[in-house]
Amino acid sequence: MLDVCLAGCGGGMPTYNRFLTSMVVSYKGRKLLVDCGEGTQVSLKIFKLGFKTIDGILFTHFHADHVAGLPGVLLAIANSGRMEPLSIVGPDGLNSVINGLRVIAPELPYKLNIIELSGKQNYSERIGDFNINILSVDHRIPCFAYSVYMERNKKFDREKAVKNSVPIDIWSRLQKCEDVKYKGNLYTPDMVLGGCRKGLKVSYCTDSRPIPELIDFAKNSDLFICEGTYGDDKKLEKAIKYKHMLFREAAELAREADVEELWLTHFSPSMISPDDYLSETREIFKNTILGENGLKKSINFTS
Amino acid sequence: MLDVCLAGCGGGMPTYNRFLTSMVVSYKGRKLLVDCGEGTQVSLKIFKLGFKTIDGILFTHFHADHVAGLPGVLLAIANSGRMEPLSIVGPDGLNSVINGLRVIAPELPYKLNIIELSGKQNYSERIGDFNINILSVDHRIPCFAYSVYMERNKKFDREKAVKNSVPIDIWSRLQKCEDVKYKGNLYTPDMVLGGCRKGLKVSYCTDSRPIPELIDFAKNSDLFICEGTYGDDKKLEKAIKYKHMLFREAAELAREADVEELWLTHFSPSMISPDDYLSETREIFKNTILGENGLKKSINFTS
């Protein structure tokens, strides 16, 4: 089971009723945090997300509303007693940003493993059990979307094991994907395992214009968290100028990518009632949810 | 009239119910901000304190809970349309801290006038109409207390003007503290003005142990805002170790300095109910108020 929490839903600047957009995904007690603007540490406390088991912080880009909370989060992680290294992933310039902000958090009891994504390439990373795909998107400065994929173990196939004359004593070791030498023979996991099973996929994109590459990137996600800075279609010119999306554009991506559910987030402080635009957005993609501080979902393996 | 607002009352880290300790003083529409930790920009918005007329930001010291909000505040000031220079005052290292944090706020439409207070001296500064006295205090890293003093113009003394044969045509100019040449004679303001009148004084000290110098420094303040990280006397050892104060110690300073009113602030996140310690603190200094987010007071000239 993968737990997802949207720690905030605002964009641009923190306001009295919206924490800035960031996401926590949790799997078997370990966590990734995507983005941390000013106030994210408070949101993580309010929604009881915990700091000690955050194994990675991923930055989409370096506008202040996505990164200014880093010193506070690093200090909160330190305060939690963490000693294990922490991975931080982000665009080109990540080292400079971390070094700059750490002027007020110079001493940490854990090491940082800094993974700087240079240029406009796409990447894959693995942090603990989390498989992370990374897509270069279209914002005013270098920016990446992240997709977290949790693999599901293949199912044990008893008939196949018997057919392949695999001794019963080593079934459980093979099931754990080990190669096993036994009584002079080599046995491999594929001799006892069935076909691939669908994993869990959560995709997260903010800030960007809607680019076609996002459709493949978010394809079949169980959950697609996507910016919808503006609800009103009349803001299209502004969205193009500042490289953001309308609700409609995010919903079109969700539909094309055939995702299970769309959460809109990164609302402009000028948009008081995102609700006003929900019904027309649902005409494009029915399973659209408006982001809110602390919105949570548990996603389970199927079949 | 001087307006004072305590924008937050927490210490150490922001929590769901306490913004971090900072103060805004306003006089004739111009403002000073003392300290800005993570979330201060949100507090300033909630309490409608405004950004455009902030002429100075004063830092007590560079622990993250007093400074991490700087990039957000600088960007909010930029967003307000300010073009005038902004003064920033703080301990040795101020340039490095600002340069570090500005990695995420590199472009501002106004200039910064950076005043770095080196060593353990005491200082006086003037920003607009604000006279600022600065005292080196006793924390784990270099730290300063600030006292803001607003002078009151001397009263016009008609009898004195007549006695000194000052022509009535130039009374108003002399009253504005100008020297005036008139019909071949030089006239000076002291020829028409009475004695000094009491100004307005607000003193602010966090984080520090109680040092004797604070008594003179805060002497006769209309308002003394002082840290009280711990209410419980049993926390004395901790207060000494981390260089903070107990409520009792702040109240003793207020009593010795003969201030009008004491506001306690910078409450430890571990102290859930500062109220529990208020009555015993008032036995030491009666006019003690517990700080809270957005606590305000207007202080008027007397006589």
Residues A166 and A293 in one domain: no
Cα dihedral sign for B67, B68, B70, B76? negative
B207: cis peptide before it, omega within 30°? yes
Residues B84 and B13 in one domain: yes
Q: What is the mean pLDDT of chain B?
A: 95
pLDDT at site A194: 87
Bridge partner residues of A297 (DSSP): A4
Using CB atoms and an 8 Å cut-off, which of residues 76-105 of chain A contact chain B? 76, 79, 96-97, 99-105
Phi, psi (rounded to 5 degrees) for B193: -105, 145
Distance CA B96, CA B149 (A): 29
Which residues, 6 or more positions from A252, have their beta carbon under 8 angstroms from its beta carbon?
A: A210, A284, A285
Annotated binding residue B244? no
Q: Which residues does chain A have with pLDDT short of 70? A: 303
* CA angle, residues A67, A73, A75, in degrees to nearest 5: 130
CB A101 within 8 A of CB A73: no
Residues of chain A with Cβ-Cβ distance to B16 below 8 Å are 42, 45-46
pLDDT at site B303: 63
Q: How many domains does chain A have?
A: 2
For residues B164-177, give the mean pLDDT: 89
Amino acid at B123: Y
pLDDT at site A267: 98
* Residue A66 Cα distances to A4, A11, A36, A138, angstroms: 18, 8, 5, 16
Phi, psi (rounded to 5 degrees) for B8: -165, 165
pLDDT at B226 over 80: yes
Residues B149 and B163 in one domain: no
Which residues, 6 or more positions from A114, have their beta carbon under 8 angstroms from its beta carbon?
A: A87, A88, A94, A95, A98
Q: Do B99 and A96 touch (CB under 8 A)?
A: no
CB A231 within 8 A of CB A246: yes
Beta strands in B142-222 (DSSP E): 144-152, 180-182, 185-187, 197-205
Which residues, 6 or more positions from B104, have their beta carbon under 8 angstroms from its beta carbon?
A: A62, A63, A64, A67, A68, A97, A100, A101, B71
CB A51 within 8 A of CB A79: yes
A207: cis peptide before it, omega within 30°? yes
Residues B37 and B170 in one domain: no
Annotated binding residue B266? yes
CATH code assigned at A265: 3.60.15.10
Question: Nearest Cα to B284, choosing from B252, B244, B250?
Answer: B252
Residues A138 and A83 in one domain: yes
Cα-Cα-Cα-Cα torsion B12, B16, B21, B25, nearest 10 degrees, comes to 170
Distance CA B112, CA B133 (A): 21
Question: Nearest Cα to B145, choosing from B155, B153, B157, B137?
Answer: B137
Q: Find the domain containing A188 and state its range.
A: 155-195
ipTM of the complex: 0.89
Residues B45 and B173 in one domain: no
Question: What is the set of active-site residues of A?
Answer: 65
Residues A34 and A132 in one domain: yes
Render the burial of B161-197: b for 16+ CB within 10 Å, e for the rest: beeeebeeebbeebbeeeebeeeeeebebebbbeeee
Q: Which of A15, A62, A71 sits opposite B68 (nearest CB)?
A: A71
Radius of gyration for the alpha carbons in chain A, expressed in angstroms and rounded:
21
For residues B126-155, give the mean pLDDT: 94
Question: Taking the mean position of all CA atoms in its chain, how far away is CA A5?
Answer: 10
Residue with tokens 């406390």: A45
Question: What is the set of active-site residues of B?
Answer: 65
Domain boundary among B136, B168, B195: B195
Q: Give the distance from residue B226's alpha carbon to the nearest chain A alpha carbon, in angstroms.
A: 23
pLDDT at site A131: 96
The nearest alpha carbon in chain A to B95 belongs to A103
Helix (H) or strand (E) holding A214: helix A213-218
Distance CA B282, CA B272 (A): 19
Helix (H, G, I), strand (E, B) or coil at A125: strand
pLDDT at site B151: 86
Annotated binding residue A63? yes
Residues of chain A with Cβ-Cβ distance to B17 below 8 Å are none
Q: Give the distance from residue B78's alpha carbon to the nearest chain A alpha carbon, in angstroms.
A: 13
pLDDT at site A123: 87
Distance CA B286, CA B75 (A): 41
Using CB atoms and an 8 Å cut-off, which of residues 19-78 of chain B contact chain A? 38-39, 41-42, 45-46, 62-64, 67-69, 71-72, 75-76
CB B53 within 8 A of CB B81: no
Distance CA B207, CA B171 (A): 48
Domain boundary among B195, B227, B247: B195
Helix (H, G, I), strand (E, B) or coil at B160: helix
Domain boundary among B195, B227, B254: B195
* Residue A41 Cα distances to A4, A172, B38, B209, angstroms: 16, 42, 9, 28
pLDDT at B176 over 90: no
> A138: buried, middle or exposed (CB in 10 Å: 19+, 13-18, 0-12)?
middle
Q: For chain B, what percent of residues have pLDDT higher than 70?
A: 100
Residues A228 and A124 in one domain: yes
Query: What is the tens place of the pLDDT at every residue in B29-79?
Result: 999 999 999 999 999 999 999 999 999 999 999 999 999 999 999 999 999
Amino acid at A106: P
Q: How many CB atoms lie within 10 A of CB B48?
A: 8
The nearest alpha carbon in chain A to B105 belongs to A64
Annotated binding residue B63? yes
DSSP A276: G
Residue with tokens 């006589």: B303
pLDDT at site A122: 82
Residues of chain B with Cβ-Cβ distance to A45 below 8 Å are 15-16
Residues A239 and A159 in one domain: no
Residues A191 and A208 in one domain: no
Residues B67 and B103 in one domain: yes
Residues A141 and A170 in one domain: no
Residue from B40, B70, B103, B107 to probe the interface with A (highest A Cβ count within 10 Å):
B103
Cα-Cα-Cα-Cα torsion A139, A140, A141, A144, nearest 10 degrees, comes to 0
Cα dihedral sign for A73, B50, A64, B87? negative
Distance CA B301, CA B196 (A): 13
Annotated binding residue A65? yes
Residues of chain B with Cβ-Cβ distance to A101 below 8 Å are 100-101, 103-104
